[in-house]
Copies of this chain bind each other. A is one copy, B any other.
Amino acid sequence: MASPTTEKANILLIGGGGVGTIVALNIETGGLGAVTSVLRSNFNVVNQQGYTIHSVDHGEVPSWKPTKGVLGSVPDVTKESLPPFDYVITTTKNCPDVPPTLPELIAPAVTPGHTVIVMIQNGVNIERPMFEKFPKNIVLSGVSMIGSHERGTGVIVHDDPDILYLGAFRNPNFTDSKPEVAAAHAFIKLYGAAGKTNVQFSDDVQWARWRKIIFNGVLNPICAITNLDSSRVRLADSLVEGLVRPAMTEVFEVASKLGYQLPEDIIDTMINLDPMDMYLEPSMLCDFRKGNLMEVEILVGEPLREAEKVGVPTPNLKVIYELCKAIQWRTKETKGLITVPPKRGA
């Protein structure tokens, strides 16, 4: 469990991009936690110069680093005889189709039965591999509504306020959920201590995740496949009525069958979520345009596998999934993760 608040909580953050950096800044500003951030692509720049942050919640913050600094890889608390982390927060992209998986990645920093894992990430069923790997740990769920992006290396533009719905995943190995709920409230206290962010307790984290997957499992991949932003998708020929709405209806029915009753108007809400004149790029389109891997499995694959389990037909979602996997395959080839046989005469 997390340490009592008389001393600062010892926190490891994995993923210091647009979302993770503001998470770290929130916590440090509140004074109840001390953060170490594990970075990848921006490690050298941030290690030397710190972050440059332009934040709608925190203002202009130059040359900023978390108090316990940044690391280029996940520390091994046992081998390095480090004090245990009270929290490991994950804010990275989550692509279980590319090793290492997230549980493998964070394992050296997780103390069994002690570290609270906080997943501030999209998707459904993301907690399952965590509980498999860490059966005795509490895992919290963060569904973030923040708008924050790394515009240049180490330069964070946070232009839409941080709103975080935080609750506890149910660890199937625990009979009592009270410690999980208490851990969620403890983290909320720590996260909201600066008073600069809107963090709310979520008592049904799965409901919140299935609500968001209506957008992220359908409109998000369709934007990536068609290379259209979320406004152009609404303008493009018959795409909304011919594909977006039918596929969203499939996901809605999967959620219903699983017991998550979403509002009747959720599909229209999600189709029109982004302001029309903003021409926003959802995350998968962003990744696609940057040539990055997309979160195909946790956003599209998992809803589809749930559909198959509960017997809801999802012909549209199936095609979206196959096409996303093919595009992901191409990205893997470009990144050298896959090689193909040589071309004739080459």
Contact = CB atoms under 8 A, between A and B. Distances in A.
A81 interface: no
Nearest to A242: B322
A243 B343 contact: no
A174 interface: no
Contacts of A340: 231-232, 235
A328 B232 CA distance: 12
A243 B278 contact: no
Most chain B CB neighbours (cut-off 10 Å) among A231, A323, A330: A323
Contact of A226 (B238, B278, B330, B342): B330
Contacts of A233: 326
A323 to B, nearest CB: 6
A283 interface: no
Chain A binding site: helix, strand, loop or mixed by DSSP? helix
A315 interface: yes
Contacts of A325: 236-239, 242
Interface in A273-296: 275-279
Contact-residue size bin, chain A (C-beta under 8 Å from the other chain): 35 or more
Copies of this protein, total: 2
A128 interface: no
A231 B235 CA distance: 33
Contact of A243 (B227, B322, B328): B322
A319 B243 contact: yes
Nearest to A278: B344
A95 interface: no
Interface of A: 222, 225-228, 231-233, 235-239, 242-243, 275-279, 315-316, 318-323, 325-330, 333, 340-344
24 contacts: A225-B225, A225-B323, A226-B323, A226-B330, A227-B327, A232-B340, A233-B326, A236-B330, A237-B322, A238-B322, A238-B325, A239-B322, A239-B323, A239-B325, A239-B329, A242-B322, A243-B323, A275-B344, A276-B341, A277-B343, A277-B344, A279-B343, A319-B319, A319-B320
